[in-house]
């Protein structure tokens, strides 16, 4: 089975409601050329319901939340549950973004709980992993990412794991303008696929979409997406401009 190519936008804490609706409309209006490509918009919670409505016009476009709480309900002021996310029709939740790990103290153990909660709600996690610059410079990046996957995902059974999308996002490349070279991306993606294969077998490994994230833009998307084990991108800055993101969608 050919695995899906995915262009996922992570809007982070950008766009007021009106701006977000306009962006979702502009992207949804674009006809995706390759029917094997899925477009995902990771919007703030405020935009989710409308984004789902807008995306109904284009079967290739799906909507993601950027986070959720690990518990399903209760006295957690300011938090958002998987049931709330599911109830507005979003299908994905971005988990473990490096900004959540750095600014909100999310660790591998907490993320394992969030992964379970997301899957139990019949949502799909886009699970982010990736190393800081010091770790890359020390040459231990592969072991570091392997540990993130083992501690947050590899407790799942094969059927559950098959619903996960992975996003490899080296922290030194996020929002910095520095992109991992296509060779660096391919090396890590290949290692990740091998780890999945060792744990779950080749069929599941070959069906898993592994996205690259870190300063993807129209000028570099084609080369990065052209790598054998790179199945698309999780895109921050360039997903905020409709024309840039559309060019990225058309880079497969």
Catalytic site positions: 97, 169
> What DSSP letter does each residue of 114-159 carry, written as one string?
HHHHHHHTT-EEEEEE---HHHHHHT-HHHHHHHHHHHHTTTS-HH
Which of 9, 96, 130, 213 is close enough to bind ligand PEP by CB under 6 A?
A: 213
Which of 49, 150, 237, 250 is close enough to bind ligand PEP by CB under 6 A?
A: 237
114-122, 155-163, 168-176, 201-209 -> range binding ligand PEP (CB under 6 A): 168-176
Closest CA to 153 of 195, 122, 121: 195
Residue-wise burial string across 201-227, b where 16 or more C-beta atoms lie within 10 A, e elsewhere: eeebbeebbbbbbbbbbbebbeebbeb
Residues in region 5-64 near ligand PEP by CB under 6 A = 10
Nearer to ligand PEP, 64 or 235 (CB): 235
Nearer to ligand PEP, 160 or 242 (CB): 242
Tell me the C-alpha distance between 181 and 170, whole Å.
11
Which of 9, 96, 130, 236 is close enough to bind ligand PEP by CB under 6 A?
A: 236
Q: How far is the CB of 123 from ligand PEP (least distance, A)?
A: 19
Name residues whose C-beta falls within 8 Å of residue 61's C-beta, 6 or more positions apart in sequence.
27, 28, 32, 38, 39, 40, 41, 55
Q: How far is the CB of 105 from ligand PEP (least distance, A)?
A: 18
Structure tokens belonging to residue 97:
């973004």
Name residues whose C-beta falls within 8 Å of residue 194's C-beta, 6 or more positions apart in sequence.
205
Q: Does 248 participate in binding ligand PEP (rule CB under 6 A)? A: no
Tokens 């660790």 locate to 107
Does an H or E element contain 112, and which?
helix 108-120
Which of 70, 208, 209, 215 is close enough to bind ligand PEP by CB under 6 A?
A: 215
Q: How far is the CB of 166 from ligand PEP (least distance, A)?
A: 13
Q: How far is the CB of 203 from ligand PEP (least distance, A)?
A: 28
Which of 6, 24, 111, 234 is close enough to bind ligand PEP by CB under 6 A?
A: 234
Q: How far is the CB of 224 from ligand PEP (least distance, A)?
A: 11
What is the binding site for ligand PEP (CB under 6 A)? 10, 169, 174-175, 213-216, 234-238
């Amino acid at each position: 089975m050919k695995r899906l190519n995915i262009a996922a936008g992570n809007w982070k804490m950008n766009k007021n409601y009106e701006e977000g609706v306009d962006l979702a409309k502009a992207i949804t209006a674009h006809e995706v050329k390759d029917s094997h490509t899925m477009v995902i918009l990771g919007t703030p919670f405020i935009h989710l319901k409308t984004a789902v409505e807008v995306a109904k016009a284009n079967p290739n476009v799906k909507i993601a939340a950027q986070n959720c709480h690990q518990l399903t309900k209760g006295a957690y002021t300011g938090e958002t549950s998987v049931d709330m996310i599911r109830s507005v029709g979003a299908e994905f939740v971005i988990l473990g973004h490096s900004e959540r790990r750095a600014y909100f103290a999310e660790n591998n153990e907490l993320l394992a709980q969030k992964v379970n909660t997301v899957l139990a709600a019949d949502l799909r996690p886009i699970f982010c992993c990736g190393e800081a610059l010091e770790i890359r410079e020390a040459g231990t990046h592969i072991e570091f990412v392997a540990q993130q996957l083992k501690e947050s995902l590899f407790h799942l059974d094969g059927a559950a794991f098959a619903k996960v999308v992975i996003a490899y996002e080296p922290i030194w490349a996020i929002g910095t303008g520095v992109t991992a070279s296509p060779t660096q991306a391919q090396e890590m993606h290949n290692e990740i696929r091998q780890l999945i294969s060792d744990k779950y077998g080749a069929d599941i490994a070959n069906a898993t979409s592994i996205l690259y994230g870190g300063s993807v833009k129209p000028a570099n998307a084609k080369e990065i997406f052209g790598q054998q084990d790179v199945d698309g991108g999780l895109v921050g800055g360039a997903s905020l401009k409709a024309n840039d993101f559309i060019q990225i969608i058309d880079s497969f």
